[in-house]
Chains A and B, each alone.
Chain A
Amino acid sequence: MPFIDVDNVIKEYDNAHALRGVSLGIEKGQWLNIVGPSGSGKSTLLNLMGGLDSPSAGSVVIDETDINRLNEDGMARFRREKMGFIFQQSHLIPYLNALENVMLAQYFHSMSDEKEASEALGRVGLSQRLRHRPSQLSGGEQQRVCIARALINSPELLLADEPTGNLDRENTRMILELLKKLHEEEHFTIVLVTHDPFVAQWGQRIVTMEDGKIRCDELVCRL
């Protein structure tokens, strides 16, 4: 059984169909990018995998747990243990500095550990910016804090929704290189949603969506 098993998932909002029977299996440690135009259902699929939304029909099984059968507390615990999130907006707490933002994620998982949080920020190249607040950091630096925050609890699954959407090409490359390095070191599974073909090339597999369905599923060929 794959690590993530999305089985014939349908998602309807009133009369609109966001997903029309999507099935997808993702192996543990794989980096999968979901691409497609706006309204194709890629973010909806990601939200269902993260348990941020529930399907109208079908199931999402992660690591042999049907996440739609979990109650609110169970889902929160599952997310805390298994998942890390990165969004287009950094969603950092504005009045906490970079270190405190990472420590907050530690706190909600178990307990905070300043040394470990500093090391995590060091790994994303921010060891000189620990005490800076989000407003004192550039967009690329903020996203790096988000990566440190998402990975601080050693998740098995990293869900990223347009993580470089707000960044220029140089910063985008920097973030992707960082993710690639961490992925190679820690072997977590990545599901990344993007509409940018440049970003899509960084994964191991690309799923292209259109009108709530998977149009194409291909492995990235690297020369």
Chain B
Amino acid sequence: MSSFVVSEALATGFKEGFKAGIIWLVLIAYLSKHDRSSLIRSFHAAVLTVLMATPLFLVYYSGPPAKDAIRNFISFSFSLLLILSAASLYHASGIKPDGPLDRSDSKAFLMNRFILPPLIFFLTVAFFLPDMLGSGSFIKDLAAIKESGRSTYISALAGFASGYLLWSIIYRTLRPLWIGGFFDIPQIFLFLSVTKLLGGGTKGLAEMTLIPSVQRGFMKFSHDFIHQTFVFLMVPDHQLLKTTTWNFIGFFFGPNIAGFAALAGILFFPLLFLYYRLFRPLPDPLAETGAERRKVKSGLLFDRRKKALPVMLFVLLVLGSWFSESGESLSKLYIPKPKPVVEDKGLILIPLKDPSMDIKDGRLHKFALQHNNQEIRLLVINKTGGLSVCLDACEICPPEGYGQRDSNVVCVYCNTPIPVDTLGQAGGCNPIPLSFEQDEQFIKIGLKELLKKREFIPTGAAGEKAG
């Protein structure tokens, strides 16, 4: 366990250091190419701020609310970069012709002195802080697993330093400042977005990239949107519309279609940029001779191709990583047999230390309570941040319950996959969450809470079975 924890901490630290290093290198190359090397100070100041803010935040703010805040912060940061890169790629693609550029000295002075430094600072903080907090929080959890957390923290720091040093050595030995010529503002934003997508995971070696989170998020969004639309339209729960139809609809919520839609959403603007920059005709420049005109045109064409190269590279990187992450096979649905539980003095007790099972093993566990000759099924599963306890039913489908496939629980009725980490959120196709208490021996659920939440389960033939 110990070496596993240390290597996880090392890898997480290395990933963060690697990201910081490569971004520093690209940024310094870009700024020096555009005679703005002095602006690198803003980047350094932001990285220092992040390095100081991360431990402070993690010391004074912890627990599930902090984890939720970090998760939201990461989503915000990635979305912000994605929007910025989409907007700048759209602007640079040439779809909308540029107006005359005002490059007066006073504007340049204002830009270099007052606009760009805080902008670089803000973007750097917005990029690094959520990732560092996410990874820091993960390392904190690792340190808690191990008896002495010191080696975990030291490993993480060593990993960070070596990841950063790697790029520092590359910079000192090869001086690859020429790469700055391949970047403009849109390419920088895209580079940051892709770096975040490919290296923004906060679950150690198990999830180095943000791709599964994006897939899950998009899956959940599309699923809730479509499903709620059907509910809103009051599609009758007719036998003909039962499993087959929902299975069909569920196919669209699944990792294939929804995942592909998320990928298409991410790559839309880069591909649009590539299409316009590579395949649209060049404007005819004004020149005295044909040779001069061709020279200006060939310069433009060369620049277009050069600036398209990183975009193409990023598209390929995202595609490769995306499909390597999407290699989840559709394994058989795992539906455990419910274990009986009893009510005692208004509480249902689920033992945490049952020799016949490990409730924190990440697999789906089901329990059944007999109440007034009716069965009420519960499910318990360990997710990031702790156990989740829900009814084995949602607010929409007839309560046929859930099974588990990979990192999703799947509704047996409509075949909709629900990412395990979203359990505990109420509404839609999610299992109805239950409030509970937990001590060293038991999960304790109030009978009143159970009966109150049972009211949300749709009634009907199938509902009778559970309710």
Which of A's residues lie within 8 Å of B, judged by CB? 106, 109-111, 113, 116, 152-154
Which B residues lie within 8 Å of A110 (CB)?
A: 291, 294-295, 297-299
* Contact residues of B between 268 and 309, Cβ < 8 Å to A: 289-292, 294-295, 297-299, 301
CB <8 Å contact, A116 and B290: yes
CB <8 Å contact, B291 and A152: yes
CB distance from A20 to the nearest CB of B (A): 37
Interchain CA distance A116-B298 in the complex, whole Å: 15
Interchain CA distance A111-B303 in the complex, whole Å: 14
Query: Closest residue to A151 on the B side, CB-wise?
Result: B291
CB distance from A175 to the nearest CB of B (A): 22
CB <8 Å contact, A154 and B291: yes
Most B-side CB within 10 Å, residue of A109, A111, A113, A153: A111
CB <8 Å contact, B292 and A154: yes
Give the size of the chain B interface in residues (CB under 8 angstroms): 10
Interchain CA distance A154-B290 in the complex, whole Å: 8
Query: Closest residue to B301 on the A side, CB-wise?
Result: A111
What are 8 sample pairs from A and B whose C-beta atoms fall under 8 A apart? Answer: A106-B294, A110-B294, A110-B299, A111-B294, A113-B290, A116-B290, A154-B289, A154-B290
CB <8 Å contact, B291 and A153: yes
- Extra 15 A-B pairs, beta carbons < 8 Å, given A110-B291, A152-B291: A109-B291, A109-B294, A110-B294, A110-B295, A110-B297, A110-B298, A110-B299, A111-B294, A111-B297, A111-B298, A111-B301, A113-B290, A153-B291, A154-B291, A154-B292
Which A residues lie within 8 Å of B291 (CB)?
A: 106, 109-110, 152-154
Interchain CA distance A153-B291 in the complex, whole Å: 5
Which A residues lie within 8 Å of B294 (CB)?
A: 106, 109-111, 113, 116
CB distance from A72 to the nearest CB of B (A): 21
SS class of chain B's interface: helix, strand, loop or mixed? helix
Which B residues lie within 8 Å of A106 (CB)?
A: 291, 294
CB distance from B291 to the nearest CB of A (A): 4
Which A residues lie within 8 Å of B290 (CB)?
A: 113, 116, 152, 154
Interchain CA distance A116-B290 in the complex, whole Å: 7
Which B residues lie within 8 Å of A113 (CB)?
A: 290, 294
Which A residues lie within 8 Å of B299 (CB)?
A: 110
Interchain CA distance A90-B202 in the complex, whole Å: 69
Interchain CA distance A68-B297 in the complex, whole Å: 30
Query: Closest residue to A105 on the B side, CB-wise?
Result: B291
Interchain CA distance A80-B410 in the complex, whole Å: 68
CB distance from B306 to the nearest CB of A (A): 15
Interchain CA distance A97-B163 in the complex, whole Å: 57
Interchain CA distance A154-B299 in the complex, whole Å: 17
Which A residues lie within 8 Å of B298 (CB)?
A: 110-111
Closest 10 CB pairs of A and B: A110-B298, A154-B291, A111-B298, A154-B289, A110-B294, A153-B291, A110-B295, A116-B290, A111-B294, A113-B294
Interchain CA distance A183-B299 in the complex, whole Å: 29
Query: Closest residue to A106 on the B side, CB-wise?
Result: B294
Query: Closest residue to A113 on the B side, CB-wise?
Result: B294
Which A residues lie within 8 Å of B295 (CB)?
A: 109-110
Interchain CA distance A113-B299 in the complex, whole Å: 14
Most A-side CB within 10 Å, residue of B290, B297, B299: B290
Which B residues lie within 8 Å of A111 (CB)?
A: 294, 297-298, 301
Interchain CA distance A73-B315 in the complex, whole Å: 35
Interchain CA distance A106-B297 in the complex, whole Å: 12
CB distance from A135 to the nearest CB of B (A): 28
CB distance from B75 to the nearest CB of A (A): 45
Which B residues lie within 8 Å of A154 (CB)?
A: 289-292
Which A residues lie within 8 Å of B297 (CB)?
A: 110-111
* Contact residues of B between 372 and 387, Cβ < 8 Å to A: none
Interchain CA distance A152-B293 in the complex, whole Å: 12
Interchain CA distance A113-B297 in the complex, whole Å: 11
